[in-house]
Structures are given as structure tokens and as C-alpha cells.
């Protein structure tokens, strides 16, 4: 029986471990939190910091293949491990995604359209960037930002003050794209073929994903086909294997690269029940050297992210279903709660997948149950 090592024990590690078990594999997980969600389902675990070189080495030693569910693992520690152990995705997609300047430059150089951008080091370079790009623009820290953290939209000179608390750390200034909607794609590449999951339209609230609607209702077939084609071509050009998610801004027929993640993606959680196979299972197949399966959409699907402020409502829905993760009497409703010990606003605590439901049906029947 093969063992998959997972760097990171959050909800993504939890769901990787669940799907590894379906395929008959063991899992061992490393996370600094003793109550990390993935520890409940992994066969073994290590409590240690992500920059603990000895602990990471031990994880690799116990594993036949190693993956990461957390992209802020220090590259200087991971790189030498890729030379001695089987970390199939390698460090390159992780390294390329950890710095927004590097990420945008890599996307542009490998055939994707990106918003105009400029490096920011201090107030002088910020003002220079605003002069070159113009208003409105978006200030972001280059590293460690997620779910809207470390970002500020600058629409007028008065808004520059929003960026000032972050000056002094490496940053990027980006052109603000007045997009019609955001869409994302999740792909898995085994080196010979790439399987792509159906494209979802993403709706955010306060910089955090709120809903993913599949298939993306505002996307026509020509744009959909082009998004898949260029995303797969980008993955091949970069030499990335394993899993990769890409978020795009869609403006008319134009696609603008926003960001990428070399791990399972929040917008892909719908695939667990909404597709014939899911992002976690295909990642595991890749890690185990098994043939990939082509995913198909079961039915129109809406995935609702559950943050701390929505937890009580989600627990009520779970009670109505009779069991967390089970299909409810309302056919096609699936509740996933991650079992995190501390709930707080804006923290991801779970998700609910509504299979066989359009966005309009979700709005009419379920939207009012959650915080707006």
C-alpha cells in the first residue's frame, strides 16, 4: 500500500486524505497545529512548522509521494528535498506562484494575457506605478496575501493612504480590470495528458470566494473552449505536472490571468459531488501513478463557501440532512464541515454543494439562509 505525504493539514489536506483512502492509499500529514482537520482522517501525522527541515525530511521519508496543500512552504527548504525524494510536482509551480511579480511575468511570458503591472518598493515607486498604469489600480503585497488580505483598490489620490500601511514590503501595482465576472479552471497533468474540470463562475464577498456556479452561466462556448485551450497550453509550456488552478478575469471575450495555485482550489470543491470524479481524487491518481479519469459534470451545480459567520446556518442545514456530508431529503444538497476548532468571521469553516441547481434556484431557495 502506497503512502501519500501531505504538507499542510487544513481542509485541502483533509479532502486529499479522504480521496486517497478511496483509492486504497495511506496518508501522512505535516502541520503546525495539533488539531489540524486533516489529522482526523490521515493514517499518521507530524506536528511541526512548515519550515522545520528535519520534520519535512521525516514526512518525505515516510511517503512514497509528497504533495502540498499550502503554497507558502519555504522554497529554500523544499528544493533540496525534491532532489532526494519523490515530490512529483517539484518546486517550480510552487515557486512561481509564491511571488505575484514572478507569477505575472511567468504567465505573460508563457502566452497568457495579464493586466499591466509594476513593482512597488516604497512610496516613490508606488506613485510612479500609478502614473504609468493610471486609476483605478490595485495594490497587493507580492507574497503571503490571500482572500483579499494585503490588498487595496486605489481609485483616487485619496485612496493611496490605503496602501501606505503595507509600504516597506515588496508589492505589486496592477491595472484594475473592469471585468464582467471571474472564472476558474482546475487541471491535472500526468505528463502525457491533461484532464480539465468544468469551468466555474466565481462570486466573491469581501475578497473571499462566496459562490462557485458551474457551468459558468455567462460564458459562451467559444470563450470556454479558448480558456481551456490556453490554460492547458500554459501548463505544458511551463512543464507543470500535477494539479493547477488558474483564476481569470473575463471581460467580453477577453481573458486576463489573475492568479494560479498548484494545489486543489476552493472553487473546485464542487467537483466532489458535482462531477464524475473530483480534483482531489485525480491529484491522488497522479501521485500514485494511476491513469487519470476525464471528469464530466453530473448536473448544474452551485458551491457555497461557509465562513465563520455562516457556520450556525450550515450546521442547521447539516442537521436537516441527517448527517454531515450526506445527501439531504432536498435531493442534491451536501454539507461539508471541516471540523476546525476555532470559528471566526472570514475563516473558511466548510462548504455546501447543491447539485442539480442553477444560480437562480439557489437564490430563490437557499441564499436567504446565509449572511449577505
Is 182 labelled as part of a ligand binding site? yes
Q: What is the pLDDT of residues 16-45, one digit of tens each?
A: 999 999 999 999 999 999 999 999 999 999
Position 57 pLDDT exceeds 80: yes
Q: In this structure, which topology does domain 116-175 adopt according to CATH?
A: Dna Ligase; domain 1 (3.30.1490)
pLDDT tens digits, 202-249: 999 988 999 999 999 999 999 999 999 999 999 999 999 999 999 999
Cα distance from N-terminal residue to C-terminal residue, the chain = 46
Rounded-to-integer distance, Cα 8 and Cα 13, Å = 6
Residue 191 is labelled as binding a ligand: no
What's the grid cell of residue 298? 453530473
- Please state which CATH class domain 181-369 belongs to: alpha beta
Residue 174 annotated as lining a ligand binding site: yes
145 is in an annotated binding site: yes
Q: Answer yes or no: is 76 a known binding residue.
A: no
Q: Does domain 3-87 have CATH number 3.40.50.20?
A: yes
Reported as a pLDDT band with limits 50, 70 and 90, residue 329 is low
pLDDT at residue 328 greater than cutoff 80? no
Query: What does pTM read for this prediction?
Result: 0.94
Q: How much is the pLDDT for 207?
A: 86
Buried b (16+ CB within 10 A) or exposed e, 167-192: beeebbbbbbbebebbbbbbbbbbee
Reported as a pLDDT band with limits 50, 70 and 90, residue 330 is: low
Q: Is 147 annotated as a binding residue?
A: yes
pLDDT confidence of residue 324: 56
Residue ranges, comma separated, of all CATH 3.30.1490.20 domains in the chain are 116-175
**Cα(227)–Cα(225) distance, integer angstroms:** 5
pLDDT for position 356: 96
Q: Does residue 323 have a pLDDT over 80?
A: no
Query: Bridge partners of 189?
Result: 194, 242
Q: How many whole angstroms separate alpha carbon 147 and alpha carbon 154?
A: 18
> How far apart are alpha carbons 335 and 325 in whole angstroms?
5
Specify which residues 242 forms β-bridges with.
189
Residue 348, annotated as binding a ligand: no
**Residue 280 assigned as binding residue:** no
How many C-beta atoms lie closer than 10 Å to residue 88's C-beta? Answer: 17
Question: Above 80 in pLDDT, residue 174?
Answer: yes
Task: pLDDT band for 73, please (50, 70, 90 cuts).
Answer: confident
Q: What is the pLDDT of residues 299-310, one digit of tens each?
A: 999 999 999 999
Q: Where in the chain is the domain with CATH 3.40.50.20?
A: 3-87
pLDDT for res 51: 92
Question: For the chain, where do the domains classified as CATH 3.30.470.20 start and end?
Answer: 181-369
Q: What average pLDDT does the structure give for the chain? A: 94
Please check the confidence at residue 148 and state whether its pLDDT lies above 70: no
Is 11 assigned to a binding site? no
Is 151 annotated for ligand binding?
Answer: yes
Region 93-122: what's the mean pLDDT? 96
Say if residue 322 carries a ligand binding annotation: no
Is 106 a residue whose pLDDT tops 70?
A: yes
Instruction: Tell me if 140 is assigned to a ligand binding site.
Output: yes
* Residue 204 annotated as lining a ligand binding site: yes
Please say whether the beta carbons of 213 and 203 come within 8 A: yes
pLDDT at 320 > cutoff 90: no
The confidence score (pLDDT) of residue 314 equals 94
Amino acid at each position: 500500500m502506497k503512502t501519500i505525504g501531505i504538507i499542510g493539514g487544513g481542509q485541502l489536506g483533509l479532502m486529499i486524505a479522504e480521496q486517497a483512502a478511496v483509492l486504497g492509499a495511506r496518508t501522512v500529514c505535516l502541520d503546525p497545529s495539533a488539531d489540524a482537520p486533516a489529522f482526523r482522517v490521515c493514517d499518521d501525522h507530524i506536528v511541526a512548522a512548515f519550515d522545520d527541515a528535519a520534520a519535512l525530511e521525516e514526512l518525505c521519508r515516510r511517503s512514497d509521494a509528497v504533495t502540498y496543500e499550502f503554497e507558502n512552504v519555504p522554497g529554500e527548504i523544499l528544493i533540496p528535498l525534491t532532489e532526494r525524494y519523490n515530490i512529483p510536482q517539484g518546486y517550480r509551480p510552487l515557486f512561481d506562484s509564491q511571488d505575484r511579480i514572478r507569477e505575472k511575468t511567468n504567465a505573460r511570458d508563457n502566452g497568457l494575457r495579464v493586466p499591466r503591472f509594476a513593482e512597488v518598493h516604497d512610496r516613490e515607486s508606488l506613485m510612479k506605478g500609478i502614473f504609468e498604469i493610471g486609476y483605478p489600480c490595485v495594490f497587493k503585497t507580492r507574497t503571503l496575501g490571500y482572500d483579499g488580505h494585503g490588498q487595496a483598490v486605489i481609485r483616487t489620490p485619496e485612496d493611496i493612504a490605503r496602501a501606505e500601511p503595507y509600504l516597506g514590503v515588496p508589492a505589486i501595482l496592477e491595472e484594475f480590470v473592469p471585468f464582467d465576472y471571474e472564472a476558474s479552471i482546475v487541471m491535472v497533468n500526468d505528463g502525457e495528458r491533461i484532464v480539465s474540470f468544468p469551468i466555474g463562475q466565481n462570486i466573491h464577498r469581501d475578497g473571499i470566494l462566496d459562490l462557485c456556479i458551474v457551468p459558468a452561466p455567462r460564458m459562451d462556448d467559444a470563450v470556454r473552449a479558448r480558456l481551456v485551450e490556453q490554460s492547458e497550453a500554459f501548463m505544458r509550456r511551463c512543464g507543470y505536472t500535477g494539479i493547477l488552478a488558474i483564476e481569470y478575469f473575463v471581460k467580453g471575450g477577453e481573458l486576463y490571468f489573475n492568479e494560479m495555485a498548484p494545489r486543489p482550489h476552493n472553487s473546485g470543491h464542487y467537483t466532489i459531488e458535482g462531477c464524475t470524479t473530483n480534483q482531489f481524487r485525480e491529484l491522488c491518481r497522479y501521485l500514485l501513478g494511476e491513469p487519470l479519469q476525464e471528469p464530466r459534470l453530473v448536473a448544474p451545480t452551485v458551491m457555497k463557501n461557509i465562513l465563520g459567520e455562516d457556520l450556525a446556518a450550515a450546521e442547521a442545514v447539516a442537521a436537516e440532512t441527517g448527517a454531515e456530508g450526506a445527501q439531504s431529503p432536498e435531493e442534491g444538497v451536501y454539507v461539508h464541515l471541516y471540523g476546525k476548532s476555532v470559528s471566526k468571521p472570514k475563516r473558511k469553516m466548510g462548504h455546501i454543494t447543491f447539485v442539480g441547481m442553477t444560480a437562480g434556484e439557489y437564490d430563490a431557495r437557499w441564499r436567504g439562509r446565509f449572511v449577505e
